[in-house]
Every structure is written in C-alpha cells, then in structure tokens.
Amino acid sequence: MTLPHFRILTCLVAALLAAGCAPTMLRNVADAPIVSNKEPLSLDDVRVAITRAGAGLGWIMIEQAPGEIIGTLRLRTHEAIVDVTYDTSTYNIQYVDSANLNYNESKGTIHKNYNGWVQNLDNAIQRELAALN
C-alpha cells in the first residue's frame, strides 16, 4: 500500500469512528397506548408491568407517586435517568438527566446509545403489559 492510499484509509477509518460516536436527537416516548389482554387494567397492574420491564433490563425503577416511576440505568461510566408517567390507557418515557452521554440541551442531542436503551425499555413495557392476565 502506498503512502497516499494509507493516508486515505486512515482518514476514512477515523471518519467512521467519529460518525459512530456522533450524537443523535434525543428520543422520548409520548402517549404510548397500553395494550393488554387483561381488562380492565388497574393503575397497579400498569405499575407492576413497567417496574418488571425496567428491572429486567437493569433499570432501577422507583415509584415517586401513583402514576410516576423514576428509572435509572447505570452502564459502565454512563447513567440515564427517565421519568415514566402512566395511567391505565397510556404511558410516557421522558428524559430527566444523564452522565457521560454528551447530552446537549440546546441542540436536543444525546449519545445514540441512550435512544437504544429507551427503545428497549419501551419494548419491554409493551411485552409486560401484553403478558398481563
């Protein structure tokens, strides 16, 4: 490999690595419908499903008040904190705070892993709600 080709390859690899760490728009979950085979659902049923979903993924889920749970996920040096509000028909997952995730409030961006964690939590909540009997 010639020196110019090596430099081009090095620049491409550096660009790909930088793009992989680039921040992305922060994702919240708003008014996600609650779908379950169990009818009618109580607020406690929803709380249990959300708590189980989070705990199963390593989130620390702490009830703040009826209809509100604070979820904290700590992975290595990263921390994400979300507020999960709910009733018997919908739930929301809203960003609260983070550490080492490059959150930029003015741009509304955060490390791309955060959105994956929130998506996983959303999917797990839906699974737990669907499994209620």
Mean pLDDT of 35-52: 94
- H-run or E-run covering 118: helix 112-130
pLDDT band at 39 (very low <50, low <70, confident <90, very high): confident
Q: How confident is the model over 2-35, as pLDDT tens digits? A: 656 555 555 444 444 444 467 899 999 999 999 9
CATH number of 23-130: 3.30.310
> How high is the pLDDT of residue 73?
98
Give φ, ψ of 17 to 5 degrees.
-65, -40
Domain ranges, ordered by start, for the chain: 23-130
CB 91 within 8 A of CB 50: yes
**pTM metric for this prediction:** 0.84
Q: How confident is the model over 75-128, as pLDDT tens digits? A: 999 999 999 999 999 999 999 999 999 999 999 999 999 999 999 999 999 999
Q: Pick from 76, 72, 85, 80: which is nearest to 110 by CA?
A: 80
Structure tokens at 3: 């020196």
